[in-house]
């Protein structure tokens, strides 16, 4: 992939270490029994939530961040006490080999295993019964995973993707928007499920953004991004040809150069893209930023809401009310105002999709909770049987009254309309 070393360090090392240290710092607290409120009948008893492991977990990782996207869920699965089978992506073969050869040096092979397999072998793997499946990849494969899991009633987390919209209002700092959007779109050569997939703005803002985006691309990657050590390549030939075909959308305003031998696609901005164009029919997952012109914020929100719910929505404006309107009137896995990608750096925030973009969440304590069965427990006193007699037959109105008095939850702050 020709991934720049800084991007590799940031995503594959630093964020993984952050997840690990956050877990080590807090695990003693996370795994403790969580005592809960009790009713009058159980005041002398112990009521708590026990944090149990699910059992044997399957983690299927993708190729775009091949270390981060297996190691972060693995940390939570281990912390929760599970055994794990890890299936790295066969597309990134060097990383797959590295994981298979080295992981057994650090983890007990009786509890943790790495499976190197292609599509056919993975299909066979999914015929086995697991206690939990964690999958990161496309919605198409996510449906296959969910169907296989359903045969065994296995719970799943599906970290998928989708077309993440980015709305830019007419009241914003154009240069700052351009730099933050360009960074998020072209990071890892656009092969990020969380990247802004397309931009929504007015025709006037599109004209303002073009020189600013061009300047940001030159600032980041120089006048010839092909020679930049800070711009990566597309992972494979199949993916290259798919992304290259999307260049036939709208008009190429910036970039557009390709080199199939190197699997290079220049940082590209497409202007005047129509909703019917190829780039708007699928997740781009490459260094191409389509711009769709809308009249105003309301039209942008309607455009977003008319499509499957994305993994993230981005909104840029100097007016906080505009950002909040986009947040309140849309639905997505996550949201970031006036920046891109940065919400993923906070382990205190859940990361996950909704609807077509995924099911479940993780990062920090959310990862531990994902791989934990929260077991409701009540440990009662063996004596004091007289207190229980009101629930036993034969039933009487008096017993029913006493049961109601001891078990009823009353609403607080009720008012009476006169």
Angle at 62 between CA 14 and CA 198, to 5 degrees: 85
The number of residues making up the chain comes to 418
Rounded Cα–Cα distance for residues 298 and 304 (Å)? 10
Exposure string of 258-269, with b = 16+ CB inside 10 Å and e = fewer, is beeeebbbbbbb
408 is catalytic: no
Rounded Cα–Cα distance for residues 138 and 193 (Å)? 9
Q: Which residues contact 56 (CB under 8 A, 6 or more apart)?
A: 82, 83, 84, 85, 130, 131, 132
Rounded Cα–Cα distance for residues 107 and 7 (Å)? 27
Rounded Cα–Cα distance for residues 299 and 399 (Å)? 61
Residue in 19, 159, 166, 201 annotated catalytic = 159
Residue in 83, 166, 193, 336 annotated catalytic = 193
H runs (alpha helix) in 59-92: 68-79
Structural contact between residues 136 and 60, judged by C-beta atoms closer than 8 angstroms: yes
- The number of C-alpha atoms within 13 Å of 75 and in the hemisphere containing its C-beta is 25
Phi, psi of 286 (to 5 degrees): -165, 180
Please tell me whether the peptide bond between 89 and the residue prior to it is cis, using omega within 30 degrees of 0: no
Q: Which residues contact 268 (CB under 8 A, 6 or more apart)?
A: 247, 252, 254, 255, 256, 287, 288, 289
193 is catalytic: yes
Active site residues: 159, 193
């Amino acid at each position: 992939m020709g991934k720049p070393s800084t991007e590799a360090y940031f995503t594959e090392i630093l964020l993984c270490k952050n997840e690990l240290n956050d877990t080590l710092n807090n695990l003693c607290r996370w795994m403790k029994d969580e005592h809960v409120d009790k009713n009058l009948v159980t005041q002398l008893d112990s009521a708590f939530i026990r944090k149990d492991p699910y059992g044997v977990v399957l983690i299927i990782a993708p190729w775009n961040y091949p270390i981060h996207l297996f190691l972060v869920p693995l940390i939570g699965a281990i912390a929760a006490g599970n055994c794990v089978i890890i299936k790295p992506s066969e597309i990134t073969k060097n990383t797959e080999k590295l994981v298979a050869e080295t992981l057994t040096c650090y983890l007990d092979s009786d509890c943790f295993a790495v499976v190197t397999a292609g599509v056919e072998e993975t299909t066979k793997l999914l015929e086995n019964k697991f206690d939990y499946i964690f999958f990161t990849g496309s919605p198409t494969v996510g449906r296959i995973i969910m169907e296989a899991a359903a045969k065994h009633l296995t719970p799943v987390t599906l970290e998928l993707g989708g077309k993440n919209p980015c709305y830019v209002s007419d009241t914003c700092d154009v240069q700052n928007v351009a730099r933050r959007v360009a960074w998020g779109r072209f990071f890892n050569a656009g092969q990020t499920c969380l990247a802004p997939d397309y931009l929504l703005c007015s025709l006037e803002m599109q004209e303002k953004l073009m020189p600013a985006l061009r300047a940001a691309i030159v600032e980041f990657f120089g006048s010839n991004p092909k020679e930049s050590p800070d711009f990566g390549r597309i992972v494979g030939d199949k993916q290259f040809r798919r992304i290259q075909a999307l260049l036939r959308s709208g008009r190429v305003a910036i970039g557009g150069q390709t080199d199939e031998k190197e699997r290079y696609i220049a940082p590209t901005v497409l202007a005047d893209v129509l909703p019917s164009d190829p780039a708007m029919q699928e997740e781009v997952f490459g260094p191409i930023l389509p711009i769709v012109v809308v009249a105003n914020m309301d039209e942008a929100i309607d455009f977003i809401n008319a499509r499957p719910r994305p993994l993230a929505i981005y909104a840029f404006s100097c007016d906080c009310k505009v950002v909040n309107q986009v947040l309140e009137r849309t639905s997505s896995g996550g949201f970031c105002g006036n920046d891109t990608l940065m919400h993923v750096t906070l382990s205190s925030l859940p990361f996950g999709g909704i609807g077509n973009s995924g099911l479940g969440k993780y990062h920090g304590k959310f990862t531990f909770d994902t791989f934990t069965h929260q077991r409701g427990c009540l440990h009662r006193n063996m004596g004091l049987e007289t207190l229980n007699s009101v629930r036993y037959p034969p039933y009487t109105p008096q017993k029913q009254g006493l049961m109601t008095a001891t078990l009823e939850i009353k609403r607080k702050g009720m008012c009476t309309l006169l």
